[in-house]
Amino acid sequence: MARWARPALSAFRPWRPAGWRSLFTEVGDVLGEGRQGPSGRTDMVATSLWGVRTAPCAVGLAVLNSSITGGRRPISFSASASSIFGSGGNSKKEKLFLQDIVELIQARACQRVVVMVGAGISTPSGIPDFRSPGSGLYSNLQQYGLPYPEAIFELAFFSHNPKPFFTLAKELYLRSCRPNVIHYFLRLLHDKGLLLRLYTQNIDGLERVSGIPASKLVEAHGSFASATCTVCQRPSPGKDIWADVTEDRIPRCPVCTGIVKPDVVFFGEALPQRFLLHVLDFPMADLLLILGTSLEVEPFASLSEAVQSSVPRLLINRDLVGPFAWRPRSRDVVQLGDVVHGVERLAELLGWTQELQDLIQQETEKVQTADRVL
């Protein structure tokens, strides 16, 4: 289910025990619990998606309550920031502000940051979202002769007529869009050792292009980075299909001649197995950062409530959305308006502006060099 997905999702289903064990092995080092997996039951994974606390979710919770000094020099927090850790002499849950989040990050009191992002972080790179009236992709799909806009991402329609999807894919591909300041801010979070995981609804792959390693990414709605034959299920790198797509040919499997579809999640398809990392990541998080999303698409949207109630949540967004609007928490901080400006403001308060500018220049030069070589 990608950025265009319907709010209701019935496609998510429990994974086989073997798949779960493989996933747990992948994150064993993150948890520091060796290579032992859970009992193998998958029902607890499915129920945890909807907010039910289960045994694996308890792993690492002690980290959230660990001392924030730990041999470092004493830290002076604002009264509201101190109240998070009960060190302010006031048990009242006071409202937090952006400066409080900044203090917590600077003091290394937030070292496991989980990030959720949507289409709003890619529109500054020139990639249209799907729902904005007039400018969104859904408003401009008439040229593809669809019975209704969503059909372009439905398996039944794709199997009957894949050309509209590949025509749209070609249009997006040829835009040659580059990461923007938001992507590089998230890359800086990673470089500083603060990023536990980045959950993205976007399929454009700009998080990868910005230099965030795949191990830190959960592309909840898939991406164009890989592709799979719809008949024999033969996998292939996504780049293998673009020669055909750019020449307006339907990519075909070299083995069975079936249509090769990018691993973008269509309506009715299961989410990628890596999405199950949320079972481990969100209970461990000590800060949740949400950027550029409507929080309308399930099950992605429900993750915004998966962190502990004591964990600060920072929303930088155009609008007030999801639980920030209808069930806010005392630790919520909201920065409304242009997302780029909001992220730049956060970087400024953190004292990261120069580092961010240097990183953008460095990565831009890499891209320009690569383009010259090609």
- Sketch out the chain's domains with CATH numbers: 95-126+179-220+274-373 (3.40.50.1220), 128-174+222-264 (3.30.1600.10)
Name the range with the highest mean pLDDT among 28-37, 45-54, 82-91: 82-91
Dihedrals φ, ψ of 170, to 5°? -65, -45
Q: Do 324 and 349 contact (CB within 8 A), yes or no?
A: no
Using CA atoms, how far apart are residues 56 and 33, in angstroms rounded to an integer? Answer: 12
Look at residue 263 in the predicted model and tell me its pLDDT. Answer: 94
Nearest to residue 165, comparing CAs of 229, 260, 298, 273? Answer: 260
The 10s digit of each residue's pLDDT in 246-285 is 999 999 999 999 999 999 999 888 899 999 999 999 999 9
Residue in the structure block whose two tokens are 């998958």: 42
Q: Looking at 160, 183, 190, 221, which residue is catalytic?
A: 221
Q: Do 113 and 122 contact (CB within 8 A), yes or no?
A: no
Mean pLDDT of 188-195: 98
The 10s digit of each residue's pLDDT in 157-174 is 999 999 989 988 887 776
Please, which pLDDT band fits residue 188 given cuts at 50, 70 and 90?
A: very high
Using CA atoms, how far apart are residues 144 and 152, in angstroms rounded to an integer? Answer: 9
pLDDT at 54 over 80: no
pLDDT at 56 over 70: no
Using CA atoms, how far apart are residues 242 and 227, in angstroms rounded to an integer? Answer: 11
Residue type at 91?
A: S
57 is in an annotated binding site: no
Terminal Cα distance for the chain, rounded: 34
**Residue scoring higher pLDDT (129 or 2):** 129
What is the rounded average pLDDT for all residues in the chain?
77
Q: How far is CA 192 from the centre of its chain?
A: 18
The 10s digit of each residue's pLDDT in 57-99 is 322 322 222 322 233 333 344 545 555 544 443 434 578 999 9
232 is in an annotated binding site: yes
The 10s digit of each residue's pLDDT in 213-256 is 999 999 999 999 899 999 999 999 999 999 999 999 999 999 99
Mean pLDDT of 281-298: 96
Please, which pLDDT band fits residue 328 given cuts at 50, 70 and 90?
A: very high
Nearest to residue 312, comparing CAs of 334, 342, 344, 337? Answer: 334
Q: Do 260 and 251 contact (CB within 8 A), yes or no?
A: yes
Using CA atoms, how far apart are residues 103 and 81, in angstroms rounded to an integer? Answer: 8
**Do you find a cis peptide bond into 299, omega within 30 degrees of 0?**
yes
**Residue scoring higher pLDDT (204 or 137):** 204
**In the annotation, is 221 catalytic?**
yes
